[in-house]
Amino acid sequence: MTWIYYDSKTGNVERFVNRLKLQRDWSVQKIGDSFQPQHAGHLITYTTGFGEVPLSTQRFLEENSSLIKSVTASGNKNWGPNYGMAAKKISAQFNLPVLMQFELSGTMADIQKFIDNIEG
């Protein structure tokens, strides 16, 4: 079973995940203060501010990074070099591979790329 954990603030990541659920029967769980994952999985988060990791994602990773196989982040290309920067910062801090980055809520091509990267 493939496990996907995600964090969403504006709904962009949640829209991405909801479309992903239509394509695959994977276990998907939104992270929260009391959530403790029991299985290894992949993390999808958003980039906040000007290239920052959300505090909720940071706290989740501080306790659970050993269960995370890869990180994916959404962002806005208007931010230039800070686009999707959360994934790069998480990768550097927790030594996790960046699976991919996507803009806002992603496209169907982004969803297919995500699936291909997980299943490949």
**77-120: pLDDT as tens digits:** 999 999 999 999 999 999 999 999 999 999 999 999 999 999 98
Q: Which two tokens stand for residue 53?
A: 């990791």
pTM over 0.85: yes
CATH superfamily of 3-119: Flavodoxin domain (3.40.50.360)
d(C-alpha 30, C-alpha 74), whole Å: 15
d(C-alpha 22, C-alpha 113), whole Å: 15
Delimit the domains of the chain by residue range. Answer: 3-119
d(C-alpha 112, C-alpha 106), whole Å: 10
d(C-alpha 54, C-alpha 13), whole Å: 13
Please write the tens of the pLDDT for every residue from 29-54.
999 877 889 999 999 999 998 899 99
